[in-house]
Amino acid sequence: MWPFRTSIRFVEMDFRTDVHSHVLPGVDDGFKSIDRSVEAQELLRGLGLEHQFLTPHIYPDLYPGNSPESVRAVFSKYRERLGATGVESRVAGEHMVYGDIDREFTEDSISRSLQLNQGYVLVEMSYAYESQNIRDFVFHLCNLGLHPVLAHPERYNYYSTGLVELKSIADIDTVFQLNILSLGGFYGTMAKLKAERILEQGLYSFLGTDLHSVSQIAQLKSMKIRKKHVPAIEKLLENNDLLWSGSFKGGGSDYVNHPLKETAASGSGTDSGLSKPQFRRSEPLFLPVSSVHTPLLSCL
């Protein structure tokens, strides 16, 4: 496919499911009106999108009104209008990792928490400084039978391009979500460089738009994917679809079939009845077999 091209437009690919967006109106720094939200989904539907997780910021310091109950109430209010766009929506959340966030995720609160699907929970940090409790928190989620998804790791300025720090988080059974616009340079040169390196080492499991405004859709339409990155992006798009349908098994089929595949280790996590991934990420597409990263800690 595309034998004589060095890159392809992202919109030429099968982008059917978006796992990260701020389209739910009036709840955070994303869309402010339902009319603009509808406009955005209509434009995305024209690009082939069929499913979208709406993931508003969950952070009491900045958005004290955002709770699982209040976010679901807003979604219920606008569900019909959003549904008319042809894009099926589900509500979840993007959870800022702050000091006592553990209190928001307990055995009693799992059932009402704003998860993506299959127990996957989208989490984020400040772009300026690392949350001191990030490793403790993702381990806490694992012990509850949940699966942490770190949003846009390429955008965290304090992580090196060598990815040492990010791999230490991945080692705690945390999967990563790429902001697709990072590959187009939307967030700057350094974010693009780190996104390419994370992608090339097989550390991403999902991708999302992180859409905050209609103007970003124009960027999405114009951005191109380097030909050597196309197989990895296709795998992430497939994983997005599987997550939506409830069929995601963790990692990717290329890695599952690899002779050095990572198998799920037995652990002390609580059995919540949620499906647990057998593998955490796909095979590195551009590195020799000897450089496959081995997890240090599993809480599955």
Identify the band that residue 250 occupies on the pLDDT scale cut at 50, 70 and 90. confident
Domain boundaries of the chain, sorted by first residue: 10-291
Residue 208 clears pLDDT 60, i.e. is over it: yes
pTM given for the model: 0.84
Q: Residues of the chain with pLDDT > 70: what percent?
A: 82
Residue 261 clears pLDDT 70, i.e. is over it: no
User: Which tens digit of pLDDT belongs to each residue from 31-69?
Assistant: 999 999 999 999 999 999 999 999 999 999 999 999 999
Residue 287 clears pLDDT 50, i.e. is over it: no
Give the 3-state secondary structure of the chain. CCCCCCEEEHHHCCCCEECCECCCCCCCCCCCCHHHHHHHHHHHHHCCCCEEEECCEECCCCCCCCCHHHHHHHHHHHHHHHHCCCCEEEECCEEECCCCHHHHCCCCCHHHCCCCCCCEEEEECCCCCCCCCHHHHHHHHHHCCCEEEEECHHHCCCCCCCCHHHHHHHCECCEEEEEHHHHHCCCCHHHHHHHHHHHHCCCEEEEECCECCCHHHHHHHHCEEEHHHHHHHHHHHHHHHHHHHCCCCCCCHHHHCCCCCCCCCCCCCCCCCCCCCCCCCCCCCCCCHHHCCCCCECCC
Identify the band that residue 216 occupies on the pLDDT scale cut at 50, 70 and 90. very high
User: Which tens digit of pLDDT belongs to each residue from 158-195?
Assistant: 999 999 999 999 999 999 999 999 999 999 999 999 99
Q: Residues of the chain with pLDDT > 90: what percent?
A: 81
Residue 89 clears pLDDT 80, i.e. is over it: yes
CATH number of this structure's domain 10-291: 3.20.20.140
